[in-house]
């Protein structure tokens, strides 16, 4: 297991590395006058990899993800995507919401194609794409159902398919499995890994589950409690070629989970 404390010092440079599709430089965020959510965050997200933001509730994970998405203005610092500074949401980034954020009045088919509908793709094209990704996330046959007819896990699959369908390079996922029950959650994690191995996306994934972070990530960023700072960056050295069940029994996996747990435990006191 390779472990590196602290993030590289980017201050003063304007150049971004080609290997990092997203770079976060010196980001701070204060809500109002006194809620200091993030403090001088520097991070690089390597292209094609899955990075997890892990930390206790309220440490600013969602805030950081929304700043990267361009939904929230940072108080200080800048985010670069493909080397260009972020000024708002963009087509190269897609978001998967914690509460799914589906349109309750639209069918699964329309929900999945909604991103393409907004960007004015012709109906036939967006339905074809939507059907493809509905298939990919394992919802074939549910095209004409409404969100309220689906379970939590299935709704999040719709959210995932919608994000996939716009063909963004970067997927931003905010605790996508937190509203999903444990069994569904495991299956979903496996399916996600499989899907990503086919689609080659860069994923920025927020969770507060250590097991989930270690299971799905190439890189884990540990955040400290408010104001959120980078506590450590960890790259679990687990082969993705072995089966999901073997990963969960893998010694490196278990050791990494334990190590992070010991590390974060001190914040609980």
Binding site for other proteins (CB under 8 A): 66, 69-71, 88-89, 91, 93-95, 97-99, 101, 103-105, 114-115, 117-119, 146-148, 162, 166
CB contact burial 72-106 (16+ within 10 A = b; e otherwise): bebeebbbbbbeeebeeeeebbbbbbbebebeeeb
Nearest to 106 by CA among 157, 143, 161: 143
Q: Which position among 8, 19, 31, 144 is part of the footprint of ligand ADP (CB under 6 A)?
A: 31
Which of positions 47-76 make contact with ligand ADP (CB under 6 A)?
A: 57-63
Q: Which position among 82, 121, 145, 226 is part of the footprint of ligand ADP (CB under 6 A)?
A: 226
Q: With the CA atoms of 219, 220, 223 and 224 taken in that order, what torsion angle do they form, in degrees rounded to the nearest 10?
A: -130
DSSP H helices, 200-269, are: 210-216, 244-249, 251-265
Query: Measured at CB, which residue is nearest to Mg ion?
Result: 62
Distance CA 50, CA 205 (A): 7
Q: Of these partners, ligand ADP, other proteins, Mg ion, none, which one is at the site of residue 59 (CB under 5 to 8 Å by kind)?
A: ligand ADP
> Taking CB under 6 A as the rule, does residue 37 contact ligand ADP?
yes
User: What is the helix (H) or strand (E) element at residue 157, kind and residue range?
Assistant: helix 152-165
Vertex 119 angle, CA 116 and 125, to 5°? 40
**Choices 60-68, 138-146, 225-233, 239-247 (CB under 5 A): range interacting with Mg ion:** 60-68
Between 41 and 116, name the residue whose CB sits nearer to ligand ADP: 41
Minimum Å gap between C-beta 107 and other proteins is 12
Between 93 and 186, name the residue whose CB sits nearer to other proteins: 93
Contact in structure between 235 and 45 (CB atoms under 8 Å): no
Binding site for Mg ion (CB under 5 A): 62
Binding site for ligand ADP (CB under 6 A): 31-32, 35, 37, 57-63, 226
């Amino acid at each position: 297991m390779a472990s590196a404390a602290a993030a590289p010092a980017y201050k003063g440079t304007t150049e971004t590395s080609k290997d990092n599709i997203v770079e976060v430089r010196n980001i701070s965020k204060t809500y109002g006058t006194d809620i200091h959510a993030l403090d001088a965050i520097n991070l690089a997200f390597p292209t094609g990899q899955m990075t997890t933001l892990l930390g206790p509730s309220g440490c600013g994970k969602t805030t950081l993800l929304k700043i990267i998405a361009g939904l929230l203005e940072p108080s200080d610092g800048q985010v670069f995507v493909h080397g260009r500074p972020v000024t708002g949401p963009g087509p190269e980034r897609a978001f998967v919401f914690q509460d799914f954020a589906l349109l309750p009045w639209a069918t699964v088919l329309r929900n999945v194609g909604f991103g393409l509908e907004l960007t004015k793709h012709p109906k036939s094209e967006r339905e074809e794409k939507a059907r493809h990704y509905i298939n990919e996330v394992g919802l074939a046959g549910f095209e004409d159902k409404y969100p309220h007819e689906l379970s939590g896990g299935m709704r999040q699959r719709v959210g995932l398919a919608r994000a996939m369908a716009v063909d963004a390079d970067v997927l931003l996922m905010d605790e996508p499995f937190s509203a999903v029950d444990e069994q569904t959650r495991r299956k979903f994690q496996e399916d996600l890994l499989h899907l990503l191995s086919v689609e080659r996306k860069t994923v920025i994934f927020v969770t507060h589950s250590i097991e989930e972070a270690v299971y799905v990530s190439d890189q884990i960023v540990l955040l400290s409690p408010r104001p959120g700072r980078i506590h450590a960056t960890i790259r679990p050295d687990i082969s993705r070629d072995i089966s999901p069940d073997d990963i969960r029994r893998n010694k490196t996996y278990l050791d990494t989970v334990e190590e992070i747990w010991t590390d974060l435990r001190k914040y609980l006191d």
